Amino acid sequence: MIQNKFYDVAVVGGGSAGLASALKVAKENLSVVIIERDNTLGGILNQCIHNGFGLNYFKEELTGPEYARRFIEQVQNEKLDVMLNTTVLSIENGFNLKCISSAGLFNIKVKSVILATGCRERPAGAINLCGDRPCGIISAGSAQKIVNLQGKMIGKNIVIVGSGDI
Ligand SMILES: Cc1cc2nc3c(=O)[nH]c(=O)nc-3n(C[C@H](O)[C@H](O)[C@H](O)COP(=O)(O)OP(=O)(O)OC[C@H]3O[C@@H](n4cnc5c(N)ncnc54)[C@H](O)[C@@H]3O)c2cc1C
């Protein structure tokens, strides 16, 4: 168990929502920590290597990682803490975050929590995939992550069900 920490605000999740809200809080001179379970900030943006991001906010066309980088650089220039490889397991009484990292279990006490944990694609069982051996059926988001971030092919003959842009 490592030592407990105290902050005004904890932002759970370091994707685009978490980065933007942490920056806003830091500018209010409150102590803030971003807690991210992954080994890097950026969330889903990191696997969206196509362009099309940033048109509204930066008035230029950026890829997901480029868009994330702009915010990560701002975060690095602000007085706020970032905990990577750290998962929030539970929030007790609204003010006590139970966390786990390679250092072990520890608590973070806060006055406020911003939940910016994104959303999850529903697993195969929840979307009524027929058959009892749906081996090789993966969601678009998982495919994107495996190909774009891990550099591995997911197969050679692929059937895509659905016609969304991803
Ligand atoms: C496959 C896919 C493709 C997309 N493509 C586009 C696109 O082309 N253009 C576009 O505009 N938008 C696109 N989007 C949407 C856009 O990328 C997302 O809406 C946006 O990035 C979500 O940001 P977020 O911060 O809400 O969540 P996320 O980016 O998901 O960030 C949430 C973060 O919270 C962390 N986290 C979760 N639980 C915990 C926990 N308990 N403890 C600690 N950390 C935790 C996660 O590791 C993650 O880093 C796409 C989304 C997906 C899923």
Atom of ligand 1 nearest to the CA of 121: 53
Which residue has the least CA distance to atom 1 on ligand 1? Answer: 141
Which class does domain 5-115 fall in? alpha beta
Average model confidence (pLDDT) across the chain: 91
Reported as a single tens digit per residue, the pLDDT across 81-96 is 999 999 999 999 879 9
Read off the pLDDT of each residue in 39-61 and give the average, rounded to a whole number. 95
Q: CA torsion angle for 34, 39, 43, 46 (degrees, to 10)?
A: 140
Domains of the chain, by residue range, sit at 5-115, 121-166
Reported as a single tens digit per residue, the pLDDT across 126-149 is 777 666 666 788 888 889 999 999
What confidence score (pLDDT) does residue 162 get? 82
Cβ–ligand 1 contact at 89 (below 6 Å): no
Task: Tell me phi and psi for residue 13, to 5 degrees.
Answer: 110, 125
* Distance of CA 15 from the midpoint of ligand 1 (Å): 6
d(CA 58, CA 67) in angstroms, rounded, equals: 9
Reported as a single tens digit per residue, the pLDDT across 12-25 is 999 999 999 999 99
